[in-house]
Structure 1
Amino acid sequence: MSLDVSWVLSPLLALPGVTRGVVLSRDGLILGGSSDVSTETGERAAAMTSSVLAAARALCDGLSDGSEDEVVDIVISAGSGYYYVAPAGDRAAIVVAATGAVNIGSLAYEVQLQVQKLIKALDEASAARVPRT
């Protein structure tokens, strides 16, 4: 049984300019998506976002002179607006698409709030699966 965490996107989708979103596992599997994201689109976005995050981590590792440097977020500016990617710990990430009218500062703040909720939900789900002896 897979965990659907689409609920973390609801506050983000309520922001003016945010059009859709996907929650993914670190290995690129879809954990949830906005209602207008088809399974195929969500899976493709999850796989690509996972690759983008891996590349960003490698870039930070390569340019940080050996110091621990964590990727907090990635903002991609495109002709149609923005794609905002935020890792949620070491197990998941959130990616949202927004028009150019979005307040990117508000989006960044709200995404980080949802990241913390997602981390907590994944921790609780993981703890519930561990058999007690």
Structure 2
Amino acid sequence: MDSHSASGRVQTKGRPLALDVSWVLSPLLALPGVARGVVLSRDGLILGGSADLTVEAGERSAAMTSSVLGAARALCDGLSDGVDGEVVDIVISAGSGYYYIAPAGDRAALVVAATGAVNIGSLAYEVQLQVQKLIKALDEASAARVPGARA
């Protein structure tokens, strides 16, 4: 099974994604030290990924990232007595580098893997810029599917 289309975008089960937002990762992948990334829906479905990512790795990463975000939301909500359940970002430090996770509104998120050489401050800044673009793109796609809705 070919996991990539001619444009280098991730495909699932041999079909292109219904909404492929892989473009949101391009500026992040251009940063020194950033290796790959995945864009996912809140329920853990892959919406996009870096070109070198296999379908299986992308789907696994999306599902696990969704679980991590759910656990982080529950933790924040529980420890703040229900006052602060919002997660802005999660940074996982691992032996090989970092995994940076950022929710994109209430419908999506992205995760990038980076080596220890990455400038984590620059990465955080760039991720938040891309998150805002992703939220806007998802809002526009949603409005386009709703009859009579305007962007």
Q: Same fold (TM over 0.5)?
A: yes
Q: More relative contact order in 1 or in 2 (CA 8 Å, sep 6+)?
A: 1
The partner residue of 1:58 within 74, 89, 109 is: 74
Aligned length: 133
Deviation beyond 6 Å, 4+ runs, structure 1: none
Structure 1 position 65, deviation (Å): 1.9
| Whole-angstrom CA distance in 1 between matches of 2:92 and 2:31 | 18
Residue 95 of structure 1 corresponds to: 111
| Whole-angstrom CA distance in 2 between matches of 1:9 and 1:65 | 35
Q: Which stretches in structure 2 are left out of the alignment for 5+ residues?
A: 1-16
Residue 73 of structure 1 corresponds to: 89
Percent of aligned pairs with the same amino acid? 87
Q: Is the 8 A contact 2:38 2:111 kept in 1?
A: yes
| Whole-angstrom CA distance in 1 between matches of 2:134 and 2:148 | 24
* RMSD over aligned Cα atoms: 1.1
Is 2:98 aligned against 1:82? yes
Higher helix content, 1 or 2: 1
Q: Which stretches in structure 1 are left out of the alignment for 5+ residues?
A: none
TM-score (norm 2): 0.86
What CA deviation, in whole Å up to 9, does each residue of 1:70-106 have, x standing for no partner? 1000000000000000000000001000000000000
Residue 7 of structure 2 corresponds to: none
The partner residue of 2:129 within 103, 113, 118 is: 113
| Whole-angstrom CA distance in 1 between matches of 2:52 and 2:86 | 31
What CA deviation, in whole Å up to 9, does each residue of 1:19-69 have, x standing for no partner? 000000000000000001011100000000000000000000000122133
Residue 26 of structure 1 corresponds to: 42
TM-score (norm 1): 0.97
Residue 17 of structure 1 corresponds to: 33
| Whole-angstrom CA distance in 2 between matches of 1:78 and 1:68 | 27
